[in-house]
Amino acid sequence: MEVLLYTAAALAVALAVAHSLLGERYILIRLFRRDDLPKLFGSSEFTTQTLRFAWHITTVAWLGFAALLVHAGRGDLTIPGMLQIIGLSFCIAGLLPLFFTRGKHLSWLVLFLIGGIALWCAA
């Protein structure tokens, strides 16, 4: 079972990388060339940056799942360890809206709170 979990983790990492790189190149870039995107907060820039961070949050989640699978494969997945992985995944995900929208999309607050709570409970 250990090999299967490591295989699943490697596939999750590969999927995450492919999702981000190929999605950025073949979907997001092409989508952002359109002139008819909604103008949120007065411009389409907020819309594009929101779509970009929302796309890449999936990648962060899959990398977090991969970490959980690795620990499960090693047989050392504990509740505190699981909470640490979840907390870090949410905190990293919170960096995306903070960076891409310069903090205008307030989801970073909620993502940091979730991550902080998980990390606090892991201690």
Model confidence pLDDT, tens digit, residues 8-42: 999 999 999 999 999 999 999 999 999 888 888 88
Instruction: Output the pLDDT for position 63.
Output: 98
Q: How many domains does the chain have?
A: 1
What burial class does residue 66 get, using C-beta atoms within 10 Å of its C-beta: 0-12 exposed, 13-18 middle, 19+ buried?
Answer: buried
* pLDDT digits 0-9 by tens, 38-91: 888 888 899 999 999 999 999 999 999 999 999 999 999 999 999 999 999 999
Report which of 92, 116, 90, 108 is spatially closest to residue 49, judged by C-alpha positions. 108
CB 25 within 8 A of CB 64: no
Q: What is the residue-wise DSSP string for 15-69? A: HHHHHHHHHIIIIIHHHHT-S----BTTBHHHHHHHHHHHHHHHHHHHHHHHHHH
Instruction: Output the pLDDT for position 92.
Output: 98
Which range marks the domain in which residue 110 is found? 2-122
